[in-house]
Amino acid sequence: MASASAGGAAPDAAKLTNLVRQDCGSCHGLTLKGGLGKPLTADHLRTWSRDQLVNIILDGVPGTPMPPWRPLISEADARWIAERLQQGNLP
């Protein structure tokens, strides 16, 4: 099984889905409708570009609780997450 953090490896859908639902879900809600963090529903993310979201995931938002995930996941992982969220098809 590929590690979610292995650089260059294909994103591990099951592992990333668990990460998003469970760990991102602590702030953004398991259903992604928001909490302390903003909603991550496709509708809410419509106005953002894919690259902007990838950057936010990797580098966080300074001054807010959104942390940089770069130490833990690869850019391919972040892009996979941003895609699923914007398409509203996270498993």
Partner 1 sequence: MMIVARLLMALLLVLPVTARADGLRGTGNLGLVIERATGSVVIVDTTARQAIGHVEGLGDLSHASVVFSPDQRYAYVFGRDGGLTKVDLLTASIAKRIVQAGNSIGGAISDDGELIAVSNYEPGGVRVFDAGTLEPVANIPAVGENGKPSKALGLVDLPGRRFAWALYDAGEIWIADLSAPQAPVVTKLTGVGKLPYDGNVTPDGRHYLAGLFGEDGVVHVDTWQSPLKAERILNGYGRGEEALPVYKMPHLEGWAAVGDKLLLPAVGHHELIAVDLHSFAEAGRVATYGQPVFAVARPDGRYVWVNFAHPLNDTIDIVDTQTLKVIRRFSPGPAVLHMEFTPRGNEVWVSVRDADRVDVYDAATFAKKAEIPAQKPSGIFFTARATRIGQ
Q: List the interface residues with partner 1, window 42-61 (CB under 8 A).
A: 60
CB of 49 to partner 1, least distance (A): 24
> Residue 56 is encoded by which pair of tokens?
């936010």
Tokens 């294909």 identify what position? 10
> Residue 51 is encoded by which pair of tokens?
């690259």
Give dist(CA 58, CA 54) in Å, integer: 6
Q: List the interface residues with partner 1, window 67-86 (CB under 8 A).
A: 67-69, 71-72
Which residues bind to partner 1, rule: CB under 8 A?
18, 21-23, 25-27, 29-31, 33-36, 60, 63, 65, 67-69, 71-72
